[in-house]
Amino acid sequence: MAVSLKHLNACPADEFMSLVGPVFEHSPWIAAETAQGRPFQSREILHARMCHLVRAAGREKQLALIRAHPDLVGRAVLTAESTSEQKAAGLMGLSKDEVALFDRYNREYRERFGFPFVICARLNKKEAILQAFAMRLQHTEEEEITTALEEIFKIANLRLLDLIPENP
């Protein structure tokens, strides 16, 4: 459902949270805190505010946000947004061997870092994602938290573009 920025700036807080909440996976606190900063002059300023809140939230909330994301090609029930994003990356209808490879990488990644591998699937295809898995498994935990959050910010930006297609 697309809305205008004007509508988001004027609607009741609960409606704002309902519309903007899915921008960050299963993390409605971001939309709730963002609603208090209205009005926003542009979609970019709204996105920047949301990202700022995440950066300032502290490690526990950041890790909770990362952990709110599903494994790629996992067995979890996906949100509509995640389903669409994984489909765009070519992650639906994989061969049995490809699924096994994703399962292995997901397991290794979770064992190493304690949270799921997050990448902006809409900006990548399965080959690039598999290469990123291998590369990012070499990161330190701190590097990977930073990388995961940056990927989440890309995901959020694309979701905001879907929600607010026109900027004033």
pLDDT at residue 168, as a whole number: 64
What tens-digit pLDDT sequence spans the chain (168 residues)? 899 999 999 999 999 999 999 999 999 999 999 999 999 999 999 999 999 999 999 999 999 999 999 888 876 656 778 778 888 877 888 889 998 999 999 999 999 999 999 999 999 999 999 999 999 999 999 999 999 999 999 999 999 999 999 866
The residue from 7, 26, 52, 69 that is catalytic is 69
69 has catalytic annotation:
yes
Domain-embedded: residue 168: no
Domain-embedded: residue 64: yes
Count of alpha carbons within 13 Å of 98, Cβ hemisphere only? 13
Domain-embedded: residue 50: yes
Q: Do 35 and 17 meet the contact criterion of CB atoms below 8 Å apart?
A: yes
Q: Which domain holds residue 78?
A: 5-163
31-41 b/e (C-beta count within 10 Å ≥ 16 → b): bbbbbeeeebe
Domain-embedded: residue 18: yes
CATH number at residue 91: 1.10.3330.10
Tally of domains in the chain: 1
Q: Do 148 and 66 meet the contact criterion of CB atoms below 8 Å apart?
A: yes
Q: Do 20 and 8 meet the contact criterion of CB atoms below 8 Å apart?
A: yes
Domain-embedded: residue 70: yes
pLDDT at residue 43, as a whole number: 97
Task: Determine the Cα angle at 63 with ends 104 and 99, to 5°.
Answer: 20
CB count within 10 Å of CB 124 equals: 21
